[in-house]
């Protein structure tokens, strides 16, 4: 049995992903295979501080071959894989579905990151997760958009809905692994800044955009370390009883996984 659990994390270089990486290393004493498109100074500093416990890999998750190679490197290094956190995602393109300003190619690129990379990651990791001595788990970082209808978010809404569907389906296909889809709330990250800065020009109706600007101005955005603690804890401790479920980070199902 491995001395400590090993978790694969995508989208690790900033925002929620970076917070999750720090929590896994510092609070849960886990090995972390951190995948990100670029290795920024913060992630590099974290790698320097934690040495062998953090393997930071530059990887475009939309590149299936690169993703599979990164996963294989991590499993070879730690000889195990116990949790997977699928956090990488983009919100672009923003704009009405019927608008000529957004192209099918933009939609395809969105789905390459937000949907198809999930399938590639599952194919690369589930066979090893089945053998985890800690109990294999996958956390899909979802959004309220998965069940919503935010105007100008057509690609994002559809992608997160597909993510939730993947979670529900694979939970029935793989009973020896636990799968959870999590709504982390409006987390104070660069994506929120992007929504505030570009939402209006993309055509978001003022009443919808105002939800985001209002949350920012009143200090109601979620701290990445609050939502991140729930994600990290679920990746290591989520019970089989919620496998396939879509849960809210602040809801009853996650109460025991929130930081005190």
Predicted confidence (pLDDT) per residue in 2-58, tens digit: 479 999 999 998 899 999 999 999 999 999 999 999 888 899 999 999 999 999 999
Residue 104, burial from CB neighbour count under 10 angstroms (0-12, 13-18, 19+): exposed
| pLDDT higher than 70, residue 1 | no
Residue 197, pLDDT score? 94
* Active site (annotated) includes residue 78: no
Which of 13, 117, 132, 142 is catalytic? The answer is 142
Which of 78, 143, 160, 181 is catalytic? The answer is 160
Q: Which domains does the chain have, with CATH numbers?
A: 6-249 (3.40.50.720)
Q: Are the C-beta atoms of residues 101 and 95 closer than 8 Å to each other?
A: yes
| pLDDT higher than 60, residue 109 | yes
**DSSP secondary structure string for all residues of 152-206:** TBHHHHHHHHHHHHHHHHHHHH-TTSEEEEEE--SBSSHHHHHHHHHHHHHT--H
Q: Which residue bears the tokens 């996650």?
A: 254
Residue 238, pLDDT score? 98
Task: Band the pLDDT of 92: cuts 50, 70, 90.
Answer: very high
| pLDDT higher than 80, residue 107 | yes
* Active site (annotated) includes residue 22: no
Which of 13, 22, 78, 156 is catalytic? The answer is 156
Residue 74, pLDDT score? 97
* Average confidence score pLDDT of the chain: 96
The fraction of the chain above a pLDDT of 90, given in percent, is 95
Listed range (10-14, 62-66, 147-151) with the worst mean pLDDT: 10-14
Q: How far is CA 120 from CA 62, 115, 154, 248, in A?
A: 9, 9, 23, 25
- Taking residues 73-98, report their average pLDDT: 97
Enter the tokens of residue 152.
């100008």
Residue 166, pLDDT score? 98
Q: Are the C-beta atoms of residues 247 and 182 closer than 8 Å to each other?
A: yes
| pLDDT higher than 90, residue 250 | yes
CB within 8 A of 159, min separation 6: which ones? Answer: 89, 110, 111, 114, 115
* Active site (annotated) includes residue 14: no
Q: Model confidence over 178-235: pLDDT tens digits?
A: 999 999 999 999 999 999 999 999 999 999 999 999 999 999 999 999 999 999 999 9
Angstrom distance (rounded) from CA 85 to CA 173? 19
The fraction of the chain above a pLDDT of 70, given in percent, is 99
């Amino acid at each position: 049995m491995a001395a400590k659990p090993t978790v694969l994390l995508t989208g690790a270089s900033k925002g929620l992903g970076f917070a999750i990486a720090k929590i896994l290393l510092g609070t849960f004493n886990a090995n972390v295979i951190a995948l990100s498109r670029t290795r920024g100074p913060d992630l590099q500093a974290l790698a320097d501080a934690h040495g062998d416990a953090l393997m930071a890999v530059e990887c475009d998750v939309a590149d299936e071959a690169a993703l599979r190679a990164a996963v294989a490197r991590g499993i070879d290094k730690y000889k195990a894989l116990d949790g997977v956190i699928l956090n990488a995602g983009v919100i672009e393109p923003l704009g009405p579905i019927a608008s000529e300003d957004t192209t099918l190619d933009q939609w395809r690129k969105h789905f390459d990151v937000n949907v198809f990379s999930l399938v590639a990651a599952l194919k690369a990791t589930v066979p090893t997760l089945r053998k985890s001595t800690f109990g294999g788990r996958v956390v899909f970082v979802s959004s309220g958009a998965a069940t919503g209808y935010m105007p100008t978010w057509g690609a994002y809404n559809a992608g997160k809905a597909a993510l939730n569907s993947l979670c529900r389906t694979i939970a029935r296909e793989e009973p020896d692994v636990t799968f959870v889809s999590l709504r982390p709330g409006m987390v104070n990250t660069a994506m929120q800044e992007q929504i505030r800065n570009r939402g209006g020009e993309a055509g978001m109706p003022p009443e919808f955009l105002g939800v985001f600007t209002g949350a920012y101005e009143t200090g109601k955005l979620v701290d990445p370390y609050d939502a991140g603690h729930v994600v990290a804890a679920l990746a290591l401790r989520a019970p089989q009883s919620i496998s396939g479920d879509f849960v809210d980070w602040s809801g009853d199902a996650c109460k025991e996984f929130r930081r005190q």
